[in-house]
């Protein structure tokens, strides 16, 4: 069985949390990092779909939005 360091478990825990969609600020605080930016930089590989998710959310908002002229205003 391979040797696993405590630090490896900590890294795996943080990676899985972020992969599951946990808030980066919450994960950062739990890890004791001095900033969310450090956590995001360190674990960016665990959040690959966030850009696509954000773009999709904006697209849904734009698609559902009506211009004032469309509402008869």
Whether 51 maps to a domain, the answer reads yes
Cα–Cα distance for residue pair 40/52, rounded to 1 Å = 16
22 CA to centre of own chain: 7
Q: 3-state class of 11 per DSSP?
A: helix
Q: Which pLDDT tens digit goes with each residue over 22-69?
A: 899 999 999 999 999 999 889 888 777 777 888 888 888 898 866 566
Cα–Cα distance for residue pair 4/73, rounded to 1 Å = 65
Amino acid 12: pLDDT: 93
Whether 13 maps to a domain, the answer reads yes
Amino acid 70: pLDDT: 55
Q: Which pLDDT tens digit goes with each residue over 3-27?
A: 889 999 999 999 999 888 889 999 9
Whether 20 maps to a domain, the answer reads yes
Number of structural domains (the chain) is: 1
Whether 26 maps to a domain, the answer reads yes
Range of the domain at 25: 6-67
Whether 1 maps to a domain, the answer reads no
Whether 25 maps to a domain, the answer reads yes
Q: Band the pLDDT of 71: cuts 50, 70, 90.
A: low
Amino acid 57: pLDDT: 85
Cα–Cα distance for residue pair 57/24, rounded to 1 Å = 18
Cα–Cα distance for residue pair 14/20, rounded to 1 Å = 10
Whether 35 maps to a domain, the answer reads yes
Whether 18 maps to a domain, the answer reads yes
């Amino acid at each position: 069985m391979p040797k696993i360091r405590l630090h490896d478990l900590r890294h795996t825990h943080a990676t899985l949390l972020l992969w599951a969609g946990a808030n980066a600020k919450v994960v950062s605080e739990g890890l004791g990092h001095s900033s969310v930016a450090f956590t995001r930089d360190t674990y960016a590989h665990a959040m690959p779909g966030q850009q696509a998710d954000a773009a999709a959310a904006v697209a849904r908002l734009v698609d559902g939005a009506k211009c004032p002229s469309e509402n008869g205003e």
